[in-house]
Every structure is written in C-alpha cells, then in structure tokens.
Structure 1
Amino acid sequence: MTVTNPARPDHGAAWTVDDLQSLPEDDQVYEIFDGSLLVSPHADVFHGAVANRLRRLLDRQAPTGVLVGQDIGVSAKRSSYFVPDLFVARESAVDRGGAALDPADVLLVVEVISPSNAGRDLVLKRHEYAAAGIPLYWLVEPRKQTLTVLANGAGGYREQALLPVGEVYRTEQPFPLALTLADIF
C-alpha cells in the first residue's frame, strides 16, 4: 500500500531514508520505492519463524567478516529503501553506521514470501535489488516449501535453482554452505 503524508516530507517532496526516522515505532514495516512510502504489517508468526530458522542456519556457517542479519534496511538507490527479511553483508558495512546498508556491501538478500505482499517481493524488490547490484536474491516460499535462488547477471536476476523441501542446497556463494531445507519449514 502506498501512503501519502502531506506533513512529512514537505508536501509534494519525495520520501527519503532520513524521513523514516521520525515515523512511530509500531507494528508496521516502512519502506520507500521511488520516493513513495510503502507500509506493510509485520510478518505473522510462521513467516517470522521461517526467517529466524534460516538466519540461524546461515549464522552457523558464515565465515569471519560476514554478517547475517535482519531488521536493517538496504538503500536500493537514493529514492528507494527496502527491509529484507534477511541479508548477508560484509561485517565492515555495519561498522560505518548510517541509516541503511549500501548495496555494494550486501552479498545476499532473502525475502520470505507472504501472500499479502508476494508481488512486492517477486517483482518490485527483485527488480530493485538487481538494479542496485546485489549479487544474490533468495525467495523462500513457506506455503510451497521451496527456495528459489536467483543470481544477478546481465539483464537482472536469473534463476539458478528451485529447491523443494526435501533437498539439501550446497553452494559457494555468498560463502560455502549447505542448507537442509526441511530445517527451515
């Protein structure tokens, strides 16, 4: 849903990451696309559990210097800002501080698909993350119990793998790891 608020920013001006600092801390997720504010409810319990299980699995295998995180936004470009369900970034990126991660420091973004926001994750964020140069994008679909692995290349993300719950995913990117998909659903 796109929300307009004439009080912030100045009427007719585009939203920026800095404007988000004055919004209330409530049960909403605030993101920006091309200067328009996007508001979503926080994820439900199942969605959150899937994201947390995956984060723990990635954390256990992440090498020194790599951070697996949640609840930190990524500036896709000056006028867009998204909060992925999970991200993998260079640890040095958080040492610099700031309101958002620079996409050049982000190795992977992960979105857990919610039925209410599927279009945003499958189309909008896919395009924006690719345009920002983020190398890998994973789509976790809890209801289908699948993981779609997308790699950025000429023309945007291309599907590298579509894995069902019975599979073990082994990869070298963003770091060497093996995931048993049954452990996240």
Structure 2
Amino acid sequence: MPAVTALPEWMYAPRIEGWHADDLDHLLEAPPHTEMLHGAFVFRLFPPPAGNDRLVDALAHALTGQAPAGVEIARETAIRLDTRNRFESDLLATAVAHDPSRTFFTPEQVLLVVEVVSPESAYRDRMVKPRKYAEAGVAHYWRVEEEDSSPVVHAYELDEPTRQYVPTGIHSGELHTTRPFEITLDLNGLGRPRR
C-alpha cells in the first residue's frame, strides 16, 4: 500500500467556508485547468484524448470565421459563475473585447459555451456544468459528443424565467443556427486530420 503523504500547503483553504472563485487567480501552484465547484477544487484527472483537442481546434477555427464583428471566440477560458464556482470551458463566444490580462469572464459576458465531452469530463459536461451555467444565466450551451466516430452537437438555450436550459436541437452531419449568431458547421468534417 502506498504511503500517505501530507497535502501541499497551497491546498489548504484560507477560510472556513472554503475557496473563493477569485482565489484561482493567485494560486500559481494549482495545476492547469483547475476548476471550482461550491468552493472545492476540481482537477482534470486525465488529459482528454488527442481527438478532443483536434475537434476543439476545428470548432474554434470555424466559429472564429463565422463570428460577427465584435464577437470573440476563446479557448480554455474560465467563467466565474459566482463567488464559489468557476469553470473552464473548452470554447466560449463573448462580445467583450480581447484583453490579454483577463483571467475569466462573467456569465453576462458569455454568449455561448461549448464543452467537448471526454471520458474524464463526461459527468461534469452532461450533468453539472449545464445546471450551473443555466443558473448563472449563460444564454447558450453546446455539449459536443462523439457518436459513431462523428461529432454531434446537443444545443441548449436558456429559459430565463426558470433559469434552466431547454434543448434546441441535436445536430449531426450539419449544424445551422441563427443563435447566438449565424453559424453553419459541417460536423462530419470537423476534427478530421487535413490531407
């Protein structure tokens, strides 16, 4: 049985109620992609498969090419949902001007969140993040799953009065939508190596 070792000093919360979302800006020792849920750290246990990175790159490129003036597409960027919850999305669209010193966006600044599901992130991307993003007021959420070796986009839109997402479509092959802006994607062509 492996020996039990003490936690690193930086992992001990500075207050009784736990960590605050803004603390992540100052924890240089925290591993990359650390998120926060209800004041507790959430670590990425395993890197996503290489195909996920390729798909995120392809989506980022496609969305950037179709985004209207004033809309930025950002990759692996934090969203500070409230004082105790902060997630890192695979992609997001925002109407806020690029600022290299920015460490997070707030829900009202985010037009669309895209999460590409990996084996390690599946539960969070399907169950936890949609609920928390909706409660915080993020208008659009896409969950991208691989089905039959092709990406499928499960698209959701916020129902403001209930602060819950309602499905707007399950897209395979091609996606066409006008919300949050005009987007047309050849899903079968995304994430495939270029020849």
* TM-score, structure 2 as length reference: 0.82
Tell me if structure 1 keeps the 8 A contact 2:21–2:39. no
Tell me if structure 2 keeps the 8 A contact 1:9–1:19. no
Matched with 1:161 is 169
Measured in 2, the distance between the counterparts of 1:25 and 1:78 equals: 18
Tell me if structure 1 keeps the 8 A contact 2:36–2:85. yes
Q: 1:58-112 CA deviation, whole Å, 9 max, x = no partner? A: 01011110000112100111110000100001133x4495431011010000000
Tell me if structure 1 keeps the 8 A contact 2:143–2:153. yes
Could you say if the C-alpha distance between residues 96 and 179 of structure 1 is closer, same or farther in structure 2, counting changes exceeding 3 Å? same
How many positions carry a matched residue from both structures?
178
Q: Which amino acid aligns with 2:78?
A: G
Measured in 1, the distance between the counterparts of 2:139 and 2:133 equals: 9
Matched with 1:81 is 86
Aligned residue among 39, 43, 47 for 1:39: 43
Structure 1 stretches of 5 or more lacking a match? Answer: none
Matched with 1:141 is 145
Could you say if the C-alpha distance between residues 120 and 130 of structure 1 is closer, same or farther in structure 2, counting changes exceeding 3 Å? same
Q: 1:146-180 CA deviation, whole Å, 9 max, x = no partner? A: 1100111043001110112x2x2111111112111
Structure 2 stretches of 5 or more lacking a match? Answer: 1-6
* TM-score, structure 1 as length reference: 0.87
- Kindly indicate whether residue 58 of structure 2 is the aligned counterpart of residue 53 of structure 1: yes
Could you say if the C-alpha distance between residues 70 and 174 of structure 1 is closer, same or farther in structure 2, counting changes exceeding 3 Å? same
Measured in 1, the distance between the counterparts of 2:99 and 2:33 equals: 24
Tell me if structure 2 keeps the 8 A contact 1:88–1:109. yes
Q: Please tell me the root mean square deviation across aligned C-alpha atoms, in Å.
A: 2.1
Measured in 1, the distance between the counterparts of 2:181 and 2:91 equals: 15
Q: Which amino acid aligns with 1:147?
A: V
Runs of 4+ with >6 A deviation:
none
Identical aligned pairs, as a percentage? 26
Measured in 1, the distance between the counterparts of 2:78 and 2:146 equals: 22
